[in-house]
């Protein structure tokens, strides 16, 4: 009886592999991604060798891995049932993974699913995925573009952290928040579309986006975290909600969050400001003189860090606290 069962299982496995490989051939010839079987994940590698996922348990993919083959420049992972998730750390540190096509049955991309995939240049996220987890695509050093489908409603903290080649991205209308450090240190990110559904922008969300030129904050946003737009030296204008002083800065509830006129050598902060926020002027190397209004009572950590040419600033009598490294490297 056991021998018969083993034979049946072997036949079924062979059928799945052949069926999936046939569909793979059809998929390549028609280039129709809707034909991709729900039990198959296609991929390529930078070295032309078979990829070994970091996690293979059923809970990671919603199904069990049956086979893994690589031929004619493309690999295919075959499962015994529809793949419903790319779970936590599924392909973490798979440094040779160059591209991956995920079936439309997937609804979740888990935490750190593709973290440290240093050869990943492209990824197809199907319409049906609702969640992109924390650090899901962080540290993907050559990833240039990501199309996030309209089905996505949640993007986790640090999801695209340290993606130095990422240039453009559009956030779907269903997403309600941009988490902490979501696009932290994406130095090539030049433009970002923030939809009206967004209500909050997390701490250091766009910190170190060196190429980011302008930002429009929709009226739906009610909070912006510390350092959300710090160390963005190419910013020339803020538009929309919280934009003040003709787009030169962001002021939220009296906190001066960010400065966007880095070509200025002198700047007078508006009278309604009570606090100079974390990293508000970080790296504004052209500034030589800053005028603080009497309304200011605090200067937060690293507020004027690396303002290399700053020679003159008045601190009002009402200031009761100056944060750590507030004037660090103001040589």
Domains present along the chain, CATH in parentheses:
37-160 (3.80.10.10)
- Round to whole Å and give the CA distance between 2 and 91: 35
- According to DSSP, the β-strands at 40-45 and 74-79 are antiparallel
CB 157 within 8 A of CB 135: yes
Q: What DSSP letter does each residue of 207-276 carry, written as one string? A: TT-TT--EEEE-TT--EE-TTTTTT-TT--EEEETTEETTTTEEEETTEEEEE--TT-SEEE--TT--EE
Q: Write the CB contacts of 116 (distance below 8 Å, at least 6 apart in sequence).
A: 92, 93, 95, 138, 139, 140
- Round to whole Å and give the CA distance between 111 and 144: 20
> How is residue 299 written in tokens?
């200067």
- Round to whole Å and give the CA distance between 41 and 194: 31
SS3 297: coil
CB 111 within 8 A of CB 87: no
pLDDT score for 31: 38
pLDDT score for 66: 97
CB 91 within 8 A of CB 54: yes
Per-residue confidence of the chain (331 residues) as pLDDT tens digits?
444 444 444 444 444 444 444 444 344 333 344 579 999 999 999 999 999 999 999 999 999 999 999 999 999 999 999 999 999 999 999 999 999 999 999 999 999 999 999 999 989 899 999 999 999 999 999 999 888 999 999 999 999 999 999 988 889 999 999 999 999 999 999 988 899 999 999 999 999 999 999 899 999 999 999 999 999 989 999 999 999 999 999 999 999 999 997 789 999 999 999 999 999 999 999 999 999 999 999 999 999 999 999 999 999 999 999 999 999 999 9
Buried b (16+ CB within 10 A) or exposed e, 158-191: bbbbbbbebeebebbeebebbbbbbbbbbbebbe
pLDDT score for 29: 31
- According to DSSP, the β-strands at 74-79 and 65-71 are antiparallel
Q: Which of these, 224, 232, 230, lies nearest to 251 by C-alpha position?
A: 224
């Amino acid at each position: 009886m056991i021998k018969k069962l083993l034979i049946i299982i072997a036949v079924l496995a062979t059928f799945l592999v052949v069926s999936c490989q046939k569909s793979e051939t059809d998929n390549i010839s028609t280039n129709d991604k809707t034909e991709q079987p729900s039990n198959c994940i296609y991929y390529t590698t930078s070295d032309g060798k078979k990829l070994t996922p970091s996690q293979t348990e059923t809970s990671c993919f919603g199904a069990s891995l049956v086979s893994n083959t690589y031929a004619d420049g493309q690999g295919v992972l075959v499962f015994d049932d529809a793949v419903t998730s790319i779970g936590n750390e599924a392909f973490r540190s798979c440094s040779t993974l160059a591209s991956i096509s995920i079936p439309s049955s997937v609804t979740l991309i888990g935490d750190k699913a593709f973290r440290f995939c240093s050869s990943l240049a492209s990824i197809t996220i199907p319409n049906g995925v609702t969640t992109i987890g924390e650090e899901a695509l962080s540290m993907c050093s050559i990833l240039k573009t990501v199309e996030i489908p309209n089905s996505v409603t949640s993007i986790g903290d640090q999801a695209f952290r340290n993606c130095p080649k990422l240039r453009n991205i559009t956030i779907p209308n269903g997403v309600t928040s941009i988490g902490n450090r979501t696009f932290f240190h994406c130095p090539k990110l030049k433009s970002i579309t923030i939809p009206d559904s967004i209500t909050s922008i997390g701490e250091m969300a766009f910190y170190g986006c060196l190429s980011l030129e302008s930002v429009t904050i929709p009226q739906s946003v009610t909070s912006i975290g510390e350092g959300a737009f710090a160390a963005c030296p190419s910013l020339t204008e803020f538009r929309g909600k919280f934009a003040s002083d003709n787009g030169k800065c962001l002021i939220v509830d009296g906190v001066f969050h960010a400065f966007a006129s880095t070509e200025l050598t002198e700047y007078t902060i508006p009278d309604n400001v009570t606090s100079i926020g974390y990293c508000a002027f970080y790296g504004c190397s052209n500034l030589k003189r800053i005028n603080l209004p009497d309304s200011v009572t605090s200067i937060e950590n690293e507020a004027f860090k690396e303002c290399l040419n700053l020679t003159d600033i008045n601190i009002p009598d009402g200031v009761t606290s100056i944060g750590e490294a507030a004037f660090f490297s103001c040589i």
